[in-house]
Amino acid sequence: MNAVRKITSLLAGAGLLAAASTSALAQDKTVKVGLLSDFSGVFAQLAKDVEDSWMLALEERGGMVAGYKVEIIKEDSENSPQVGVQKANKLIKSDNVAIFGGVISSGVGIALAGVADKEKTPFVAGFAIADPLTGKFCSPYVARTSFSANALQSAAGAYWAKQGVKTAVFMGPDYAAGQAMLAGFKNGFEAAGGKVVLEELTPFKTTKDWGPSLLKAQQTGADMIYTFYAGSEAVQVVKQHAAFGMQEKMPLRGAMWIYDEALWDAMGGVQMNAIHVTNYTNALDTEASEKFEKAFSDKYGRLPVASNAMGYTNAVAIFDGLAKAIEENGGNLPEDKAKIISALASLKLDNDPRGPVHFNKDNNAMQDNLYMVQIVEGPDGKPTHKVIDTFPYGEDLPGCNMK
Amino acid sequence: MENTKDESWHPLVEGDESRHDPLDEVANADHRKFLITALIGLVVLIALPFMVGDYYVSLLSEILIFGLLVSGVNLLLGYTGLVSLGHASFMGLGAYATAVIAALLGYPVWIAMLASILISLLIAYGVGLLSVRTKGVQFLLITLAFGQMFHAIAEKTRVTGGDDGMTNIPRIDLGFIGLDADHDRVFYFFVLFCFVVAMAILRRIVESPFGRVLVGIRENEKRMLAMGYSTFPYKALAFGISGMLAGLAGSLWVQHSFFVNPHIMTWEMSGEALLMVIIGGSQSFFGPLLGAAFYVLAKDLLSEITEAYLMFFGLIFVLVVAFFHGGLAGFAGKVSERFTRGKSGGEERQ
């Protein structure tokens, strides 16, 4: 029996328990946790990043929380709200999970927030940065461990205005996320005295030539361009901006998406010396960050990136929130699952690799600081991050009316 | 425009009651078969939710909702012979109409549902007037274009959250009969009720002279024209009705998932609806429903086994098209025929 238990806890550590039967260990207490994320589709890499960190966090806890063995049930939402809702229904009604998390896409995240609220089962978004998720659609059954678009971008806007940047052009794709990033940046930038002189929203997924937009930006004579693009669009914008010779006069800045590490090869060097805001970089040298970096690279043989850090916060919040809720309920899983979210939201994650993280009254994660990083040449000749400044975090948009 | 006076020579026009027509017997036998199938199906649909867990009840609701959508698609594809790639947008219209009227404007859900049905009927009829002038590939492309247009509008509309969509959409209030539609089984029976009413109406439509004209158009539109039918208004109305069914499906879908975003209006969704029809069997009334059930359940099962389930899906699709003439319904029909005919069927073969 003991040997069986040892083997299964090892399996749990490796995250393979989803497939293993628990019938042999019926007397053991098990808590089921759903990992529902966009494992296929455009966010597949980010979803994998989050999963890797979940497995690391679970391994660090020996596969257990507060005496309960953790069983992870993985489901793919395929970057489709319809599929996401169906899989969430499966996790809640068929697998009886205590809580589920993950999810990259904002559309899927918002859909799941509604399901979680109606089915009274906690959901903890791992990425899904749309403001309404913990704003208009907030719920006692919903939390988020990443950040809201407004919190990050308004802080970045305020930072640049305070650095003496007076005018900026905003460029981004014309869909919900692009619009949210624009609104957030504008909030912070203009409140701190800057002025957005041109809002250039380009058709999403169909734009291939940013020449006209860049020309329009050039004519404004603004101090910088602030952007939100991701994936192949980011690569094209950065390259065309460089080809226009605008890097000196009107630098292209943004958040971690535009200069994502995964895109560096495709950018072919033009990303060097660019500056952008991020909520985590492996160049951070805090104790917590170094510890995470070591554990992660020991397990996976590569350095963690921002999406790994956010996946880690997601997993740690879920596991430690569960542990706290179980302990507060005398060693048993609480009947009222809203207590899991309230326990989670009361956590103070002082050892988070991103820096200290806590939750606000809307159950959304707030971190103490954000980081301005520059892409520089590392000692091995390869590009790497250098932290050039640390500045305060922003605020969420109002709009949450928790029942 | 006027129907021909001599009606005895073709079966498309209802015959004189007094005259004995051998085709009537065939029609009566068909009708009996339909009633038996429908009754068995209904008993199964009423009994099933008491035999399975909550998750499968929600899958059953999903099957019925998609069943409405694909029955609408089949009115065009199977009965009229028109392949539309834009029906997801009518589902989306119904979904958004319900979401906006119930969640944003705060009207009761039943009003939102009626409005959704009406709006999708009118808009689909309008689109039909423009698109049924074409056929074949042109028709497919023009419906695709309309679908993409509605999708783009949904993505741009900020009050509905653009690409992110909106959630917390209420379900219908069944408090007047003491039930809470937030419970899966209660909601399932509400969907089943809508479904049965819609299917009864649809059956009446396809069995009516109007429906016969649609079949005539599918078989040979030139002949219908030569016989004096102006086929255009028939096709446009068929398009409108099929869009209306899609709209009802959309209205039920937002209540089922509490959520809507433009993803529901993508052309991939329209394509899935066509797949369901073809897998199930487009030449039969219940075929598309079988297709929807098969699609939803197979997807659920396969996606549990492998992430690359679409590959197997493609394989199944090819097999069905290659070997099951008339889809699953055609296959089921053949099996039941052999079963009922028993020995005599076997002898005939030899």
Residues A381 and A253 in one domain: yes
pLDDT at B21: 67
Residues A242 and A332 in one domain: no
User: Confidence band (pLDDT; 50, 70, 90) for A1?
Assistant: very low
Residues A182 and A330 in one domain: no
> Hey, are the CB atoms on B163 and A85 less than 8 Å from each other?
no
Flag the least confident range among A174-183, B182-191, B197-206. A174-183
What is the pLDDT averaged over residues A266-279? 93
| A residues 20-79 lying closer than 8 A (beta carbon) to B | 39-40, 76
Tokens 């970045």 sit on residue = A156
Q: Identify which of B138, B125, B141 has the alpha carbon closest to the alpha carbon of residue B236.
A: B125
Which domain covers residue A337, as residue numbers?
A: 2-147+286-367
The overall pTM is greater than 0.80: yes
Residues A154 and A136 in one domain: no
Number of domains in chain A: 2
Residues A185 and A264 in one domain: yes
Of B197 and B326, the structure prediction assigns the larger pLDDT to: B197
Host H or E run for residue A331: none
Tell me, yes or no, whether A225 lies in a domain.
yes
Q: From chain B, pick out residues whose CB is under 8 angstroms from the CB of A117.
A: 167-168, 258
Kindly report the nearest CA distance between residue B160 and chain A, in angstroms: 10
Q: From chain B, pick out residues whose CB is under 8 angstroms from the CB of A76.
A: 303, 307
Q: Which of B59, B263, B300 sits opposite A80 (nearest CB)?
A: B263
Residues A137 and A239 in one domain: no
Q: Is the pLDDT of residue B12 over 80?
A: no
Flag the least confident range among A35-49, A338-352, B61-75, B317-331. B317-331
> Measured between CB atoms, does A365 come within 8 Å of chain B?
no
Q: Is the pLDDT of residue B75 over 90?
A: yes
CB within 8 Å of A240: residues ≥ 6 apart? A209, A210, A211, A214
pLDDT at B22: 67
Substitution target in A85, A120, A199, A206 with the highest count of B β-carbons within 10 Å is A85
pLDDT at B350: 35
Substitution target in B167, B169, B185 with the highest count of A β-carbons within 10 Å is B167
Tell me, yes or no, whether A402 lies in a domain.
no
Q: From chain A, pick out residues whose CB is under 8 angstroms from the CB of B303.
A: 76
Residues A169 and A117 in one domain: no
User: Confidence band (pLDDT; 50, 70, 90) for B18?
Assistant: low
Q: Is the pLDDT of residue B348 over 70?
A: no
Flag the least confident range among B50-54, B132-136, B328-332, B345-349. B345-349
Kindly report the nearest CA distance between residue B121 and chain A, in angstroms: 24
Residues A166 and A307 in one domain: no
For residue A212, how many other CB atoms are within 10 A of its CB?
A: 11
Tell me, yes or no, whether A403 lies in a domain.
no
Beta carbons of A83 and A17 less than 8 angstroms apart: no
Residues A117 and A213 in one domain: no
Q: Identify which of A305, A261, A278 has the alpha carbon closest to the alpha carbon of residue A390.
A: A278
CATH code for position A190: 3.40.50.2300
Residues A43 and A90 in one domain: yes
CA dist B239 and B83 (Å) reads 11
Residues A112 and A230 in one domain: no
Mean pLDDT of all residues belonging to chain B: 88
Q: Is the pLDDT of residue B150 over 70?
A: yes
Residues A26 and A76 in one domain: yes
pLDDT (tens digit per residue) in A147-169: 999 999 999 999 999 999 999 99
Q: Is the pLDDT of residue A22 over 50?
A: no
CA–CA distance from B203 to each of A54, A391, B81, B117, B286 (Å)?
52, 67, 17, 18, 10
Q: Exposed, middle or buried, A247 (CB in 10 Å: 0-12/13-18/19+)?
A: middle
